[in-house]
Structure 1
């Protein structure tokens, strides 16, 4: 009985040491991955990286991780000198393969991501005194209210139009006025001048893991974005 108790104590100690070593190893790997993602994505600060699954060391031995989550904070896209900021950007990579030297992530079988655009950031990106806000839902779809500042057209000083935010080509956020007021039809070059303020495209060329934008929705709190990918190459 005494020998059995000794064996149990030794097993507990060894198990504790294994768990401690495993957690130390995963923390080092997370810090290293965060630094590589920071460099590859051109981020000002290191993202928060979390490697899921236990034990980590046996995953490394098979060069395959169950899941890697990254909180990148935010990124920016630019068009015509205007910058659009995406915040709360997160990405989740599943069935992740490591490089042959175990130094970094090579690819993931699937990935998902989410981000948000505030109406304040959308307003700033539109530029030229344009204001963008939430306009409620129409036929179950969220819409935005666009208030452009049209210089030299006093009749349109208080113009407000309903618009939408959509995805084009899996990498571009598009802002468009859906329909202009009938008054604009009687003013020469009115539509061209209004749409120059209301219609914009911002291309996101540095989404993590080359994810593709898949869904966008206007909500009272901002514009929410989802992204997906399969067999994605992961930098970092």
Structure 2
């Protein structure tokens, strides 16, 4: 009995040591991945990285991580020559294949990634053709306000617009309807100011835009992709 108790105590101690070592290892790996993501994407701040699953050391041995969650703030993307600030982007990366050894981590690629990117209306306004203000219009619509001059008369219109994603890389803003007041050509001129397409580039390789929703806090864009480069 005494020998059994000693064995149980030793097992508990060893188990505790293993958990501590495992958690220290995952903390180190999270820091390394964060640094790699920061360098790869040219970020000013280090992202928040969380590696899921236990034990971590067995995942390292297999060079395969079950899930890695990444949250990045202030991502600078490019939209047809204009810089577009993505306020926050979160991503869940599944089945992540790691390159290199644990001590010499060189890169990682996720078989599948899903997430959300958020663009403020102020930043969306800067990305528009005319720079006219874009705001939340309610009911999953955005409100775009623009002015045009027709026959010496300045006409200002606020239109409710739908936002969609085209070809996995482009945000499209289109007015549902433009009040014309019977003036010839006013709808076309207003649309030239309020309607726009913006192709977004600079996101991690393999990550595509899927759906855009207008919320009171900004434009929320669903992203997803396969073989997404996490770091390298």
TM over 0.5: yes
CA distance in 2, matches of 1:76, 1:157: 34
Q: What is the TM-score when the length of structure 2 is the normalising length? A: 0.87
More moved, 99-108 vs 28-37 = 99-108
Residue 12 to residue 164, structure 1, CA distance change in 2 (3 Å): same
Question: Is residue 211 of structure 1 aligned with residue 207 of structure 2?
Answer: yes
Kept in 2: contact 1:91–1:208 (CA 8 A): no
The alpha-carbon deviation at position 18 of structure 1 amounts to: 0.8
Question: Is residue 169 of structure 1 aligned with residue 171 of structure 2?
Answer: no
Alignment match, 1:93:
93
Residue 178 to residue 195, structure 1, CA distance change in 2 (3 Å): same
Residue 52 to residue 186, structure 1, CA distance change in 2 (3 Å): same
Alignment match, 1:194:
190
More moved, 56-65 vs 103-112 = 103-112
The alpha-carbon deviation at position 164 of structure 1 amounts to: 1.9
Residue 80 to residue 196, structure 1, CA distance change in 2 (3 Å): farther
Alpha-carbon displacement from aligned partner over 1:104-143 (angstroms, at most 9, x marks no partner):
4432221101011222222233375612122223xxxx21
Q: What is the TM-score when the length of structure 1 is the normalising length? A: 0.86
Alignment match, 2:157:
159
Kept in 2: contact 1:184–1:191 (CA 8 A): no
User: What SS is found at the alignment partner of 1:149?
Assistant: strand
- Structure 1 segment 131-170 matched on structure 2, within 5 A: 131-137=133-139, 142-150=140-148, 155-170=153-168
CA distance in 2, matches of 1:132, 1:173: 14
Number of residues paired by the alignment?
230
* Structure with greater strand share of residues: 2
CA distance in 2, matches of 1:80, 1:14: 57
Alpha-carbon displacement from aligned partner over 1:68-103 (angstroms, at most 9, x marks no partner):
111011323344654332222011110111114451
Kept in 1: contact 2:206–2:226 (CA 8 A): no
Alpha-carbon displacement from aligned partner over 1:6-51 (angstroms, at most 9, x marks no partner):
1111111111111111111111111111011001111111101110
User: What SS is found at the alignment partner of 2:46?
Assistant: coil
CA distance in 1, matches of 2:69, 2:91: 6
Alignment match, 2:224:
228
CA distance in 2, matches of 1:198, 1:109: 38
Structure 1: stretches of 5+ with no match in the other structure? none
More moved, 147-156 vs 106-115 = 147-156
User: What SS is found at the alignment partner of 1:43?
Assistant: coil
User: What SS is found at the alignment partner of 1:18?
Assistant: helix
Structure 2: stretches of 5+ with no match in the other structure? none
* Structure with greater helix share of residues: 1
Alignment match, 2:118:
116
Kept in 2: contact 1:51–1:69 (CA 8 A): yes
